[in-house]
Amino acid sequence: MEFSEFQVPTRVVAGRGLSTSIDIELQREGLTRGLLLTDAGVRPLADRVRRAAGSRVVGVYDAITPNSSVEQVEEAARLARELEADFLLAVGGGSVLDTAKAAALVFTEGGRLLDHQGVNVLARPLLPVAAVPTTAGTGSEVSIYAVVRDENTGTKVSFISEHLAPALAVLDPVLTLGLPPGLTAATGLDALTHALEAFLSVKAGPLSDALALAAARTVLRELPRAVVDGSNLEARWRMLTASCLAGMAFSWAMVGCVHAMAHACGGLREVPHGLANAILLPHGLEYNRPAAGDRFGILGEWMGADPVEAVRSLAERIALPTRLREVGVEEADLAALAELAMLDGSIYANPREATAEEIEAVLRAAL
């Protein structure tokens, strides 16, 4: 291990029904004028949180879509500026949370979002974000990344900085109770992918390892329960926790080729991120097996089976698609997807140094 670093800049509060008293947490952070960001699909949940926040929310932007765009980020930042907001309250899944983080960047630094690409570019704290996840998978409520789709190029653009981590994360499993089985399954596999790729990453460290292993074991045990019975609050609670732990782990350990390919699929074909990860995870793991050394064995011990078999078995149990062609990817896309994946920063933390040809072969195996 050459170097490892770990930090959780986000204050995490968690509890059943906690979002109904979010005003207390906002007050503790000194946040007084917020723009609420959400998407139309979870607007009823967001309205519930808004009521709890009371006069601390002064506006709502609910036009965020899955694989949210640069345009949406800039629109949200513009609205926040108009409202003289002193924080953003993000209520939703990964796209909403990432949009809020990127909008905070534009709000604070000005200019266009794509002007701020790079690493170590952000030198000061951004407009605070309070993140309230309504899915259990993204980990964005604690991560130092924001991923947004550039509609001009059909690619996912990643931003990375500890300043992008939300100031506050509110984990309330009640908000995930209504998540349909398919979304529960796909987002849960996203969390598992974060955990497994963080553990196998060349940037893995002892602290991220502990979080990743705990998250992986929890997802394997609890995700089927949450999918089969969405009203199982205990399973929902444990999944939300696992997602957060995995988010902390991959924030610093990074991810790998599965995410690089999933980002490519999201950029080119708008495949939902969790679904892309779910389909690609067993294939990416198999590809990395020769380079993973004894870490594959450690994963196997924690997961109670060979990692590839454990993931395949889980995906089968929760009835997720297992082929890229089921989610709109075609044979003709594979070369372009491989090329896009090779441009994704995640590929450089992969335990096996990948070539475009190898990645195309992995994608083909998953087709």
User: Is residue 2 at the binding interface for another protein, with CB under 8 A as the rule?
Assistant: yes
Q: What is the DSSP letter of 134?
A: S
Per-position b or e across 90-124, b if 16+ CB within 10 A of its CB: bbbbbbbbbbbbbbbbbbbbeeebbebeeeeebee
Residue range at the interface with another protein (CB under 8 A); choices 20-28, 188-196, 322-330, 345-353: 345-353
Identified binder of another protein from the candidate list 344, 351, 360, 363, rule CB under 8 A:
344
Closest separation in Å from C-beta 199 to another protein: 17
Among the listed residues 174, 90, 164, 84, the one whose alpha carbon sits nearest the alpha carbon of residue 130: 90
Closest separation in Å from C-beta 203 to another protein: 7
What's the CA gap between 262 and 281, in Å, rounded?
9
Using CB under 8 A as the binding rule, the residues of this chain from 171 to 230 that contact another protein are 202-203
Contacts of 44 (CB under 8 A, 6+ apart): none
Question: Across the chain, which distance is largest between two alpha carbons, in Å?
Answer: 56
Beta bridge partners of 169: 12, 131
Q: Which is nearer to another protein, 55 or 120 (CB)?
A: 120
User: Is residue 157 at the binding interface for another protein, with CB under 8 A as the rule?
Assistant: yes
Identified binder of another protein from the candidate list 83, 121, 177, 367, rule CB under 8 A:
121
Token digits of residue 163: 């300043």
Phi, psi at 157, each rounded to 5°? -110, 130
Q: Which is nearer to another protein, 74 or 344 (CB)?
A: 344
DSSP assignments along 206-247, one per residue: HHHHHHHHHHHHHHHHHHHHHHH-TT-HHHHHHHHHHHHHHH
Closest separation in Å from C-beta 202 to another protein: 8
Binding mask 96-115 toward another protein (x if CB under 8 A, else -) reads: ------------------x-
The helix or strand, by DSSP H or E, that contains position 171, with its residue range, turns out to be strand 168-171
Q: Which is nearer to another protein, 254 or 366 (CB)?
A: 254
DSSP assignments along 50-89, one per residue: HHHHGGGEEEEE-B--SS-BHHHHHHHHHHHHHTT-SEEE
Q: Which is nearer to another protein, 102 or 223 (CB)?
A: 102
Q: Which is nearer to another protein, 114 or 177 (CB)?
A: 114
User: Is residue 293 at the binding interface for another protein, with CB under 8 A as the rule?
Assistant: no
Closest separation in Å from C-beta 362 to another protein: 18
User: Is residue 118 at the binding interface for another protein, with CB under 8 A as the rule?
Assistant: yes
Closest separation in Å from C-beta 6 to another protein: 11
Q: Which is nearer to another protein, 216 or 349 (CB)?
A: 349
CB-based contact 23:170 (threshold 8 Å): no
Q: Which residues bind another protein (CB under 8 A)?
A: 2-3, 5, 114, 117-121, 157, 202-203, 254, 342-345, 347-349
